């Protein structure tokens, strides 16, 4: 495995970890194995520490993984964490051509929280199309 073969200071280690985390998340979707999901979260968090260049991508992946864990276990804390991580992904991707993907992830999780809480947990600000906050 590339991750195990790469030393901790290897310049591509973060990218390898990010890819592995995303793939474990996809495998969890197919197999419904909670161990894969937990390992995917752990590895993606490690990937964020290993590289700054991939940070917005890894944050977006991590948001999706926390969201998946919410969908599986129903813990609102996971949904809130998914939103917080997605907000950070948006903030760190100014000028990035993939920023719209991160905005979509954020809006999806906010929409999901609104559906389940009936609007009881309001955002302290709302996101507008250009990514600015009010």
Q: Where are the domains of the chain?
A: 2-117
Whether 109 contacts 83, CB under 8 Å: yes
The predicted pLDDT at position 90 comes to 94
CATH topology of domain 2-117: 1.25.40
126-133, long-range: CB < 8 A, 24+ apart: 127/90, 127/103, 131/90, 131/94, 131/99, 131/103
pLDDT-based confidence at residue 48 (cuts at 50, 70, 90): confident
pLDDT, averaged across the chain: 84
Give the closest residue to 106 by CA, choosing from 91, 124, 96, 94: 91
Place of tokens 């591509």: 12
Q: What is the pLDDT of residues 11-39, one digit of tens each?
A: 788 888 999 999 999 999 899 899 999 99
Question: What is the average pLDDT across 38-63?
Answer: 89
Report how far residue 31's alpha carbon sits from residue 126's, in angstroms, rounded to the nearest whole number: 36
98-101, long-range: CB < 8 A, 24+ apart: 98/56, 98/57, 99/56, 99/131, 101/60
pLDDT-based confidence at residue 81 (cuts at 50, 70, 90): very high
Q: What is the pLDDT of residues 109-132, one digit of tens each?
A: 999 999 998 876 554 444 445 544
The predicted pLDDT at position 134 comes to 39
Question: What is the average pLDDT across 56-82?
Answer: 94
122, with CB counted inside 10 A (0-12, 13-18, 19+), is exposed
Whether 94 contacts 103, CB under 8 Å: no
Q: Is the pLDDT of residue 2 over 80?
A: no
Question: What is the average pLDDT across 60-87?
Answer: 95
The predicted pLDDT at position 125 comes to 46
Place of tokens 């309001």: 122
Question: What is the average pLDDT across 84-113?
Answer: 93
């Amino acid at each position: 495995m590339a991750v195990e073969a790469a030393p901790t200071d290897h310049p591509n280690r973060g990218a390898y970890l990010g890819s592995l985390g995303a793939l474990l998340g996809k495998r969890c979707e197919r197999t419904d194995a909670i161990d894969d999901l937990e390992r995917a979260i752990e590895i993606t968090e490690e990937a964020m520490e290993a590289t700054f260049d991939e940070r917005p991508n890894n944050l977006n992946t991590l948001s999706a993984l926390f969201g998946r864990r919410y969908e599986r276990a129903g813990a609102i804390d996971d949904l809130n964490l998914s939103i917080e991580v997605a907000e950070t992904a948006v903030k760190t991707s100014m000028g990035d051509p993939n920023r719209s993907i991160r905005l979509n992830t954020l809006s999806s999780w906010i929409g999901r929280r609104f559906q389940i809480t009936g609007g009881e947990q309001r955002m302290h600000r709302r996101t507008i199309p250009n990514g600015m906050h009010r």
